[in-house]
Amino acid sequence: MTAPQPPGRPQPTVGGTATARALCVLAPNPSPMTLDGTNTWVVAEPGSPLAVVIDPGPLDEEHLARVVATVEEQGRRVALTLLTHGHPDHAEGAGRFAELTGTPVRALDPALRLGEEGLAAGDTVTTGGLELRVIATPGHTADSLSFHLPADRAVLTGDTVLGRGTTVVAHPDGRLGDYLDSLRRLQSLTVDAEVDTVLPGHGPVLDDARGAVEFYLAHRAHRLAQVETAVESGLRTAADVVAHVYADVDRALWPAAELSVRAQLDYLREHGLIELP
């Protein structure tokens, strides 16, 4: 009997060329929360002298220099920097990267932008013949975006969908209702736009985008039911719910799990499914 495929069919390695237009430079910041490290994406149209960099990552001089060198080795220059969201492991190095490359930084959050242009859902970014479509995917954070790369039938998801494991809904900025809507939006993208590849912010590339998103939706429904049952059984605090529902999860991840539980409790209260003070 063969082992079942993990959700999304992750590729065996992290980093390097992922599609005809996307290459990953892995940041040296591995941790239980960042998995192998932050995936900094270099995206460019074949034959173009211009590249777009998505999520320069942490403020690590060697990593930022390596991203610049990778682009130059391709015979290109960085023309634009984009951010999926403002968490430091994705965005802290953006200011320094802008200094190194002389490029603007575009993001949904005005506080993260360098230059006059931001990003909004429905925007299309065109640089050197490359086309990226901006998809609103709030939930992990309020400012989370994904980028649809139609020519490669791929989507760059930041932390909305990871290459391994599941995502924290970072309460109170992140909201579960928004996150579920974002997953459904990505699910529609896999059907309507035939997107089959996830280029995540952490972990390996996923070759079954629809399977990955459907797994995330099922996982969230399962966890939500567990939290509701825990509250009905008498547990009253987020910490108590975590200890019960996430008992089989590494305790190092419990603080992050508590953020998601708080988001789940808010969701259940807002929908009248539980009563808590």
Average pLDDT of adjacent 10-residue blocks, the chain of 277 residues: 72 96 98 96 98 98 98 98 98 98 97 95 97 98 98 98 95 96 98 97 98 97 94 92 92 92 93 76
Q: Is residue 203 part of a domain?
A: yes
Q: Is residue 255 part of a domain?
A: no
pLDDT recorded at residue 154: 98
Q: Is residue 92 part of a domain?
A: yes
Full-model pTM: 0.94
pLDDT recorded at residue 2: 42
Total domains in the fold of the chain: 1
Cα 184 to Cα 182: distance, rounded to the nearest angstrom: 5
pLDDT recorded at residue 277: 58
Cα 238 to Cα 243: distance, rounded to the nearest angstrom: 9
Write down the residue that tokens 């996307």 correspond to: 22
Query: DSSP string of 136-168?
Result: E-TTSSTT-EEEEEGGGTEEEEETSS-SSS---
pLDDT recorded at residue 1: 36
Q: Is residue 33 part of a domain?
A: yes
Write down the residue that tokens 């951010």 correspond to: 83
Cα 25 to Cα 45: distance, rounded to the nearest angstrom: 17
Q: Is residue 48 part of a domain?
A: yes
Cα 12 to Cα 29: distance, rounded to the nearest angstrom: 19
Domain that holds residue 117: 16-218
Q: Is residue 207 part of a domain?
A: yes
pLDDT recorded at residue 135: 98
Helical residues (DSSP H) of the chain, grouped into ranges: 61-73, 88-91, 94-101, 176-192, 209-232, 238-245, 254-270
Work out the angle at residue 240's Cα, subtended by the Cα atoms of residues 238 and 244, and round it to the nearest 5 degrees.
115
Write down the residue that tokens 């991203």 correspond to: 67
Cα 238 to Cα 85: distance, rounded to the nearest angstrom: 26
Q: Is residue 232 part of a domain?
A: no
CATH classification at residue 124: 3.60.15.10
Q: Is residue 181 part of a domain?
A: yes
